[in-house]
Amino acid sequence: MQEVGSLRSASASWLAPPSAAGVRSIITIIRARLHINLASQAWPLAPSTLKKNRLTSNTHQGPVPFPARQRHRTGRPSEPSAGGARQVSVMWFRSDLRMHDNAALAAADKEGSSLLAVYCFDPREYSKSGSGISSTGPYRAQFVIDAVTDLRESLRAAGSNLIVRCGKPEEVLLDIVKKTGASKVYCQGEATYEEAQVERRVASALKTENAQLKTSWSSTLFDIDALPFKLADLPSTHGQFRAQVAHLSVKEPAQAPRQLKGKPLGASVAAGEVPTLAQLGLQPVTRIPGTSHVRGGESEGLARLKSVLSGVLQQGSSMLNSSSSSLAANFSQQVSPWLAMGCLSPRRMYQEVKAQQQGNNQKVVSQAMTELLWRDFFRFTSKKYASLSLKQSSPDAVAVCA
């Protein structure tokens, strides 16, 4: 009421030149309302400076700088006032190394005013077991390195970037949240028990900063929420599963975004370098005579799918007369690595097959659907038992928001 009264008093005498005390009073009120630190800002900005800032800004720079915010005792930036709130979104890429049909990326970009995309080379995935066997071999690791490099290039082309770190996600993401004041981290939910454990660790770490982990599901032909049964009631056989989902339609895959929000200006988060095999503790890849290099990445996955479908069209009637098992094996050999690492969406694959083969070779469409349904069944089965194991091992653990 005192502040309102001061404003009324100031506005009532607007015809008369304001006194120095009156000016200081008004500025004090504005500072309190907008949380602006005049000591660290040029105030007011000259009109010529404002014009220059508008003309020189571009979409690749991300959001304009926002005023410094007050901090809690923990050192983490507090949320700004509702009138000028800016939400930093952190997108944690995992086995979804693509731009197209990525529900987590779409949510992060939509709900935030700025975007930080992150990929972690988790040392636990590149360590050796007690028997000396590596969790990830050099060929798979090189595929991941290629895919991460390709994703970074795609993000940069869309006005964003990819932060790359070698470290445990629960530690890397917590550090980024502390530096940026982000309140939400987005990611794709995974299917296995080990991956679910990492999600729990990340969620627990983020909770210490009042931040939240939000997961999306886009690694199967059908969404979990679209299934005609609860995951706990998933049929135990593929035949039963296929019969119960037969009436479902495949959702159209989302296109890759042409433009993404940039990182918050002023955020002290370096992009980092994509590691080499040696830095991951692995030996260089040995080329096998007579084989070509299988390169990871969304661009390569889409090109490989197009190549496979073109080959099917060229073979024509001979492909029609081939056995179902031979046709299925051809798809598995040609595109499964990109599906496994999320460089290629199963919905995108089905859409491409259906678009190119619908009027030429219905058998190809049918076999593609069969293979993808098998893949769905195994991923849902893994998710079902991973969820049960987590509940039994840690019933009071921090929940992950879907």
- Domains belonging to the chain, first-starting first, are 1-38 (no CATH), 85-285+295-402 (3.40.50.620)
Rounded distance between C-alpha atoms, residue 253 and residue 189, angstroms: 18
Contact 89, 183 (CB under 8 A): no
Contact 368, 353 (CB under 8 A): yes
pLDDT digits (tens, 9 = 90+) for 58-69: 333 343 333 333
Stronger pLDDT, 367 or 208, i.e. the higher one: 208
Look at residue 338 in the predicted model and tell me its pLDDT: 95
Lowest mean pLDDT among 229-243, 267-281, 303-317: 303-317
Name the pLDDT band for 330 (thresholds 50, 70, 90).
low
pLDDT digits (tens, 9 = 90+) for 240-297: 999 999 999 999 999 999 999 988 877 778 999 999 999 999 988 887 776 777 899 9
Tell me the C-alpha to C-alpha distance, in Å, between residue 171 and each of 4, 52, 204, 218: 46, 40, 11, 25
Look at residue 26 in the predicted model and tell me its pLDDT: 44
Sign (positive/negative) of CA torsion 227, 231, 233, 239?
positive
pLDDT digits (tens, 9 = 90+) for 14-25: 334 445 555 445
Look at residue 54 in the predicted model and tell me its pLDDT: 32
What is the residue-wise DSSP string for 104-155?
A: HHHHHHHH-SEEEEEEEE-GGGSSB-TTS-BSS-HHHHHHHHHHHHHHHHHH
Rounded (10°) angle between helices 362-393 and 346-357: 170
Q: Which helix (H) or strand (E) holds 165?
A: strand 162-166
pLDDT above 70 covers what percent of the chain? Answer: 69
Average pLDDT score over the chain: 77
Name the pLDDT band for 381 (thresholds 50, 70, 90).
very high
Q: How many CB atoms lie within 10 A of CB 329?
A: 14
Lowest mean pLDDT among 29-33, 131-135, 260-264: 29-33
Rounded distance between C-alpha atoms, residue 56 and residue 58, angstroms: 7
For 335-343, what is the mean pLDDT? 93
Name the pTM for this structure: 0.74
User: What residues form DSSP beta bridges with 89?
Assistant: 115, 184
